[in-house]
């Protein structure tokens, strides 16, 4: 869990601009995956938007991780992904800026 907090925190500290957010989210997904945190990907890659998803089964579930990130002022939310379920939680975490908000 500490690794995900550090990685998301680094992205926030470096102030990724909205105009480069798609590239930023893709780069963050690659960094997370390289650090052993499974960023969710489809056949088209990690993301094509200003958001990314992380599979959270191995780190406690999406809502649990979102609560930990909130403690360091990083907002994210648990989501359901088309992967194995997590008991008593959702199996994914979403980070980024939804399209209507840009």
Domain at 34, CATH number:
3.90.1150.10
Q: pLDDT value at position 28? A: 82
For residue 77, the cross-strand partners are 94
Q: What are phi and psi of 61, to 5 degrees?
A: 100, 155
Q: How many domains does the chain have?
A: 1
Q: What is the pLDDT of residues 17-61, one digit of tens each?
A: 544 666 677 788 888 888 888 888 888 877 767 788 999 998 899
How many Cα neighbours within 13 Å face the side chain of 49? 14
Q: Are 8 and 52 in contact (CB under 8 A)?
A: no
The alpha carbon dihedral of 18, 14, 32, 94 has a sign of negative
Q: What is the pTM of this model?
A: 0.70
Domain that holds residue 97: 2-101
Q: Are 25 and 47 in contact (CB under 8 A)?
A: yes
């Amino acid at each position: 869990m500490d690794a995900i907090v550090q990685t998301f925190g680094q992205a926030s500290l470096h102030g990724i601009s909205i105009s480069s957010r798609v590239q930023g989210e893709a780069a963050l997904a690659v960094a997370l995956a390289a650090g052993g945190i499974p960023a969710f990907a489809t056949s088209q890659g990690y993301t094509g938007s200003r958001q990314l998803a992380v599979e959270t089964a191995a780190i406690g579930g999406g809502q649990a991780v979102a609560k930990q990130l909130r403690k360091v002022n990083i907002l994210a939310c648990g989501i359901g992904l088309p992967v194995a379920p997590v008991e008593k939680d959702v199996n994914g975490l979403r980070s980024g800026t939804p399209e209507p908000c840009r």
